[in-house]
Amino acid sequence: MATKILSKTKKPTKTTTKPVARAAVKKVAAKKPAAKKAATRKPATTSRRRAPRRDRYAPTAIEARWQKRWEQDGLYRTDLNDHGRKKFYFLTMYPYPSGDLHIGHWYAMSPSDAAARYRRMKGYHVFFPMGFDAFGLPAENAAIKRGIHPYKWTMKNIANMRRQLRSMGAMFDWSKEVVTCMPDYYRWNQWFFLQFFKAGLAYKKLAPVDWCPKDQTVLAREQVIGDERLCERCETPVVKRDLEQWFFRITKYADELLDFSKMNWSERVQTLQTNWIGRSEGAEIIFRSESGEAIQCFSTRPDTLYGATFIVLAPEHPLVETLAAPERKAEVEQYVQAARRQSDIDREATDKEKSGFFIGAHATHPLTGARIPITIADYVLMGYGTGAIMGVPAHDERDWAFAKKYNLPTPVVIAPPGWDGQPLAEAYTGEGTMVNSGPFDGTPSADGKRMVAQKLEAIGAGKAAVTYRLRDWLISRQRYWGTPIPIIYCDEHGIVPVPEEDLPVILPTDARVKFNPQGQSPLLFHKKFLNTTCPICGRPARRETDTMDTFVDSSWYQYAFLNTNMKAEPFNRALADQWLPVDQYTGGIDHATMVEKAGERAKKMSKSKGNVVAPDPLVRRYGADTVRAFLMFIGPWDQGGPWDSSGIDGVRKWINRAWSLIVERPTAKGPRPAASDDQIKALRRVVHQTIQRVTDDMEAFKHNTAISALMELTTALARAKEAAAYPATVWGEATRALLLMMAPIAPHVAEELWARLGGAYSIHQQAWPAYDPQAAVEESFTLIVQVNGRVRDRVQVPMGIGEARARELALATPGAQKYLDGKAPRQVIYVKEKLINIVV
């Protein structure tokens, strides 16, 4: 649903000091005294052999301990009524309780959690709720296959997935959890339905649905697999069938959905949305048949009206039967049946030859009065526009193909630029000048569109009109495991909405529900549910037995999380005003493709190898911190990609190194030299440069590069530790900064090490480290010396060097001398604190 797609991460401008920081790291490294190498290893070795097992990094124990403590202390409970700080609402896709979390969930959620934790440390009042999208077909399938009741199956899965989600160590506020299959939740689906019904936005009509002939059931779109359109469960080709269905009139809001002015959506998502809505401007043109019927045709090119030489109706068009000449009825019927039998994929194949059929009737051209034939053809779709078009072969490729096949005339009415008056070799669909168009001759086609529409309106034969590809939302499912639609059918009063005070209409969970579908909702066979009384007259009546699409649940869950009293209202207005809009949503369009990929892979693997990419074993082996950090490290988050665990060792090693940095003594025995002023400066420099890098990366949701920076900092600190003894203030600042920056990414180990350093509980309630630009500043830089754009030398110079001096130094370098070869420079380009390019 369009409303589900929220904005992606913003891209703040970013300033990195990467090369500078790197130089600093190297510098710190270079300070490593030769003594280190020479130092005798023996004592260190023995001590390492004796001591190590006791204090090795043991993720499982640490993680369990801190998770318990956080839970006890309610560390992640958000007081929604606290107005003190700037709010930040993180929303992530709530999972379907399929039974097991897969790696795609972790991929979507860990970076979200890291971002949420980062915001919290930056002083925001963060809300990060979690829940379950608990209605849906898999529960019913499980019931059919294994005889477990959908409710039981769902609840069992939710219990397991809660445990798995907790093992991630995310800062979800479980006190606000929502489970959509609970009456307190779905009663509001029903309530919304009733409001829509009253406003005329919920209506019922006959509509074609996907139908599996073997399972005797209606399928949701996502249950129809692949281009072959096979049933998900039994791989039988799906067919179309007409059934009475409930709809929400979302098309009424199409234009509103296209207005992005108040949205902060990415280009890509806007395009998707625009595509999806498919707005077309044009005109509705009424052709009268000779029998007097009005045929409404939609066209985006009213300017080509004078070139219309035939009318095409969709085979399903309601006028087909009325208009067909008696002697052609049989054949028309045959063609219509053939078209209906085709699967969508055949019908919609663009390269297929156009087929059509003259139905033996004619219509009158509204402007010229010409007599033009009425045909039916399967390239016209009932579901779009009016289901009828005017055929303008000279200016539409499909009409061209159709006209050529059936030898219809193709008069040119839009002259292409520089047209020589000769017949065209193919359809010309571009803009041009109107010709052979009576009073409109000479009008540019762009203006003609408007003018022709006005003319039609003036004579009552049409008007300017807009159509959309977007259809109304079909919300009914002939299924058991969903929200009952709160409607009652009375013989006397027809369709009667359930009174609001009677909500919720409870989905019966007793054993009398038969799940094997008969092409109708299983609820139809549940007499106690089915039979009720009419709210108006009190006489026996029947309930609607269809249930709602699960998208209804998820279209408002961001409100439900903010609700503290689901019994009284769907959401709390004051809290909604305070907390919405959602500040960051993950799980939308981009990550959806990742989850799909992970899902596909999992499917494939389960088929071929009998195993699935499950996070649990990984967590047991590496710990949640490593798994989280690895998922964030592998690449830019929004690019996704297939799951591949090679490389996870690198992340594990990093956390290990951070562990030893804090926990272990320096390798070398005996006193280290006191750190020199230069060493202290260099250490603080790398610390503060890293703070800057990591802060920028966290802001930009670039966890991969944030982790790289932290790895570099860890290395630099480890080397510094071996090289010298730093004053407690300096060393403390450095190690604290490292841990604080690790906290969002690897929350458990950061908390543990923080505690060991004597830090106040909890690290997750500390402020994000402040960046000191003074400390980060470099004293010198490497001036690149180029001759004709190629690097020929480098020279280390002080920061803030003037151009004249830089030029002097650069020209004096051996590299420059060699390539200048005595020639005088023609031009010298100086880029401040970067390079000098000498052009000869």
Partner RNA sequence: GCCGAGAUGGCGGAACUGGCAGACGCGCCGGACUCAAAAUCCGGUGGGGUUAACCCCCCGUGUGGGUUCGAUUCCCUCUCUCGGCACCA
In the bound state with RNA, the residue whose beta carbon lies nearer, of 7 and 195, is 7
* Shortest separation between residue 698's beta carbon and RNA, angstroms: 13
Whole-number Å distance between alpha carbons of 497 and 39: 86
In the bound state with RNA, the residue whose beta carbon lies nearer, of 164 and 445, is 445
Residue 584, classed as helix, strand or coil, is strand
Whole-number Å distance between alpha carbons of 724 and 709: 22
* Shortest separation between residue 820's beta carbon and RNA, angstroms: 13
Contacts (Cβ under 8 Å, ≥6 apart) of 305 = 285, 299, 365, 366, 367, 390, 392, 413, 437, 452
* Shortest separation between residue 792's beta carbon and RNA, angstroms: 6
In the bound state with RNA, the residue whose beta carbon lies nearer, of 52 and 439, is 52
* Shortest separation between residue 15's beta carbon and RNA, angstroms: 5
In the bound state with RNA, the residue whose beta carbon lies nearer, of 378 and 733, is 378
In the bound state with RNA, the residue whose beta carbon lies nearer, of 55 and 348, is 348
In the bound state with RNA, the residue whose beta carbon lies nearer, of 29 and 566, is 29
DSSP element (H, E) containing 594: helix 589-608
Both structure tokens of 349: 């194949």
Both structure tokens of 159: 């219990």
Q: Is 776 within 8 Å of 693 (Cβ atoms)?
A: no
Q: For residue 487, what is the DSSP state? A: E
* Shortest separation between residue 499's beta carbon and RNA, angstroms: 39
In the bound state with RNA, the residue whose beta carbon lies nearer, of 131 and 385, is 385
* Shortest separation between residue 469's beta carbon and RNA, angstroms: 4
Whole-number Å distance between alpha carbons of 4 and 469: 19
Q: In 93-165, at which residue ranges do the beta strands (DSSP E only) sit? A: 125-127, 129-132
Whole-number Å distance between alpha carbons of 32 and 628: 33
In the bound state with RNA, the residue whose beta carbon lies nearer, of 66 and 298, is 298
Whole-number Å distance between alpha carbons of 187 and 393: 54
* Shortest separation between residue 655's beta carbon and RNA, angstroms: 10
* Shortest separation between residue 534's beta carbon and RNA, angstroms: 40
In the bound state with RNA, the residue whose beta carbon lies nearer, of 546 and 549, is 549
In the bound state with RNA, the residue whose beta carbon lies nearer, of 318 and 641, is 641
* Shortest separation between residue 265's beta carbon and RNA, angstroms: 12
- The CA-atom distances, in angstroms, between 33 and each of 22, 127, 357 are 19, 49, 91
* Shortest separation between residue 43's beta carbon and RNA, angstroms: 12
Whole-number Å distance between alpha carbons of 492 and 330: 40
* Shortest separation between residue 645's beta carbon and RNA, angstroms: 9
Whole-number Å distance between alpha carbons of 530 and 541: 8
* Shortest separation between residue 695's beta carbon and RNA, angstroms: 14
Q: Cβ-count burial of 33 within 10 angstroms (0-12 exposed, 13-18 middle, 19+ buried)?
A: middle
Largest Cα span, the chain:
109
Whole-number Å distance between alpha carbons of 634 and 276: 32
The secondary structure of 179-233, three-state, reads: ECCCHHHHHHHHHHHHHHHHCCCEEEEEEEEEEECCCCEEECHHHEECCCCEECC
In the bound state with RNA, the residue whose beta carbon lies nearer, of 580 and 784, is 784
In the bound state with RNA, the residue whose beta carbon lies nearer, of 152 and 653, is 653
* Shortest separation between residue 258's beta carbon and RNA, angstroms: 14
* Shortest separation between residue 625's beta carbon and RNA, angstroms: 15
CB atoms within 10 A of CB 209: 19
In the bound state with RNA, the residue whose beta carbon lies nearer, of 684 and 792, is 792
* Shortest separation between residue 450's beta carbon and RNA, angstroms: 15
CB atoms within 10 A of CB 490: 19
Whole-number Å distance between alpha carbons of 440 and 434: 6
In the bound state with RNA, the residue whose beta carbon lies nearer, of 134 and 651, is 651
**Nearest-CA neighbor of 178 among 91, 72, 94, 90?**
94
- The CA-atom distances, in angstroms, between 143 and each of 45, 137, 570, 728 are 61, 10, 30, 64
In the bound state with RNA, the residue whose beta carbon lies nearer, of 407 and 646, is 646
Both structure tokens of 252: 């009424």
Please, which residues bridge with residue 376 across strands?
A: 313, 357
The secondary structure of 664-699, three-state, reads: CCCCCCCCCCECCHHHHHHHHHHHHHHHHHHHHHHH
Q: In 716-765, at which residue ranges do the beta strands (DSSP E only) sit? A: none
Q: For residue 746, what is the DSSP state? A: S
In the bound state with RNA, the residue whose beta carbon lies nearer, of 687 and 718, is 718
* Shortest separation between residue 385's beta carbon and RNA, angstroms: 3
* Shortest separation between residue 317's beta carbon and RNA, angstroms: 9
Whole-number Å distance between alpha carbons of 720 and 350: 67
Q: Is 294 within 8 Å of 288 (Cβ atoms)?
A: yes
Q: Is 373 within 8 Å of 353 (Cβ atoms)?
A: no
In the bound state with RNA, the residue whose beta carbon lies nearer, of 298 and 481, is 298
Mind giving me the DSSP string for 331-379? HHHHHHHHHHHS-HHHHH-TTSPP-EEEEEEEEE-TTT--EEEEEEETT
In the bound state with RNA, the residue whose beta carbon lies nearer, of 192 and 357, is 357
CB atoms within 10 A of CB 237: 14
Please, which residues bridge with residue 489 across strands?
A: 495, 542
The single-letter code of the amino acid at 266 is S
* Shortest separation between residue 200's beta carbon and RNA, angstroms: 24
